[in-house]
Amino acid sequence: MQVRRKTVNGRFYYYLEKSIRLEKPMVYSISLGIKIPQKKELMRLERELIEKIYADLLHEARTIYLQKERLIGIEKKRRQYEARLKHLTRGQREEKEEVDIVDFVYTTLSTEGVPITKEDADLAYRFAQKGVRDIRDENLRVSLDMIRGLRQVRESEEGLDMDFILDLHAVIMAGFPGKNPGKLRSKPAYIYLKSYDKVEEIGFRPPAPEKMKEQLGELVSWYNASLGKLNPIELAALLHLKFYSTHPFEDGNKRISRLLLNKALHDCGYPILNISKQTGPYFDALVKSVEKKDERPFVEFVAQEFEKMCSKRGSWTPLI
């Protein structure tokens, strides 16, 4: 952000300007008049200019925890990321799609202790592309179910309802019939963290099973009311966090949470995010937010990971 002097009809005028490189360079400005204001007033005008840029780029979506200037920076990187994707050939797009989905499936399942390999996830992806269904290998079946779940998210219509959540759980947990796929839990839930030497319960217990239907209904209502009104990063992070805190299923809650995070991003036109790739920091932020009933740490973590993903330049990145 800088102050620039321009000559208009032979007179000097000052403008506060900020340049942003999006699909094409954009310059936003506010007129300061014939002289530069004092520091306090200039700071107020800088905030006003940030508000103006944010409203233009993010449609005035409200924020709760993240600063608007930071969200402008993330939006800039997202648009640059999308621009790079548009320059890919069809073959490059298909290759990147495969890598992203295989990484998501492998990370999501291995993080939950499912003993799959990257090769399992890759083979399951190829089976999914060919429409193969009857697979004997358990790890391949579970991987294929997760791919179907992700596809269900990415092909879904905007918004959320109870049936979608139950159906999604039924799809990804089909390989675990003893965990009641597609049915809300009927027993109390306890959340445990596993480390190298012990397993211990975290300092939070989800709501009682008789409250599940009501709480899930409230979550659905909150999401639909917030969609398009809350900025996409916070919307996605809070949907994940609120769902995980409810823990409505006997098993698979974190898996569904990550899919719902991507459901929110999909509804807002944002790309897929493999949120649990950094397993340690992911669990640290999630548990900290749940235990302390403080949403900020997890929202900050999601914003950080989304920004890193959009900034990363892989072998697929075209020179533009």
Instruction: Name all contacts of 267-272 with Cβ < 8 Å and 24+ positions apart.
Output: 267/158, 267/159, 267/227, 268/227, 268/228, 268/232, 268/235, 268/236, 270/78, 270/232, 270/236, 270/306, 271/78, 271/81, 271/82, 271/85, 271/309, 271/310, 272/100, 272/101, 272/104, 272/150, 272/154
Percent of the chain with pLDDT over 90: 81
- What is the pLDDT, as a whole number, of residue 260? 98
Whether residue 53 sits in one domain with residue 103: no
Whether residue 187 sits in one domain with residue 41: no
Whether residue 151 sits in one domain with residue 18: no
Whether residue 264 sits in one domain with residue 168: yes
Grade residue 1 by pLDDT with cuts at 50, 70 and 90.
confident
* Helices and strands of the chain, counted as H and E runs: 11, 5
- What is the pLDDT, as a whole number, of residue 206? 93
Give residue-wise pLDDT tens across range 132-177: 877 888 999 999 999 999 999 999 999 999 999 999 999 999 999 9
Q: 154 is in which domain, residue-wise?
A: 82-311
Whether residue 172 sits in one domain with residue 287: yes
Is residue 149 assigned to a domain? yes
30-34, 36-40, 240-244, 312-316: range with lowest mean pLDDT: 312-316
Is residue 228 assigned to a domain? yes
Helix, strand and coil content of the chain, in percent to the nearest 5, comes to 55, 10, 30
Is residue 232 assigned to a domain? yes
Q: Which of 80-89, 124-133, 204-213, 232-241 has the highest mean pLDDT?
A: 232-241
Whether residue 7 sits in one domain with residue 101: no
Is residue 240 assigned to a domain? yes
5-9, 144-148, 260-264: range with lowest mean pLDDT: 5-9
Domain edge (last residue) among 10, 29, 60:
60
Whether residue 215 sits in one domain with residue 271: yes
Q: Looking at residues 184-194, what average pLDDT do you find?
A: 87
Grade residue 278 by pLDDT with cuts at 50, 70 and 90.
confident
Give residue-wise pLDDT tens across range 287-314: 999 999 999 999 999 999 999 999 987 6
Is residue 22 assigned to a domain? yes
Percent of the chain with pLDDT over 70: 96
**C-beta separation of 179 from 251 below 8 A:** yes
Average pLDDT value over all residues in the chain: 92
Whether residue 250 sits in one domain with residue 141: yes
Whether residue 90 sits in one domain with residue 45: no
Domains of the chain: total: 2
- What is the pLDDT, as a whole number, of residue 314? 65
Grade residue 319 by pLDDT with cuts at 50, 70 and 90.
very low
- Cα distances from 182 to residues 71, 148, 187, 224, in angstroms, run 36, 15, 15, 21
Give residue-wise pLDDT tens across range 206-231: 999 999 999 999 999 999 999 999 99
Q: Looking at residues 105-134, what average pLDDT do you find?
A: 91
- What is the pLDDT, as a whole number, of residue 9? 84
Is residue 68 assigned to a domain? no
Q: Looking at residues 95-102, what average pLDDT do you find?
A: 94
Whether residue 53 sits in one domain with residue 97: no
Is residue 164 assigned to a domain? yes
Whether residue 231 sits in one domain with residue 296: yes
Is residue 72 assigned to a domain? no
pTM over 0.85: yes
- What is the pLDDT, as a whole number, of residue 320? 45
- What is the pLDDT, as a whole number, of residue 21? 86
Give residue-wise pLDDT tens across range 55-77: 999 998 999 999 999 999 999 99
CATH number at residue 225: 1.10.3290.10
Whether residue 152 sits in one domain with residue 98: yes
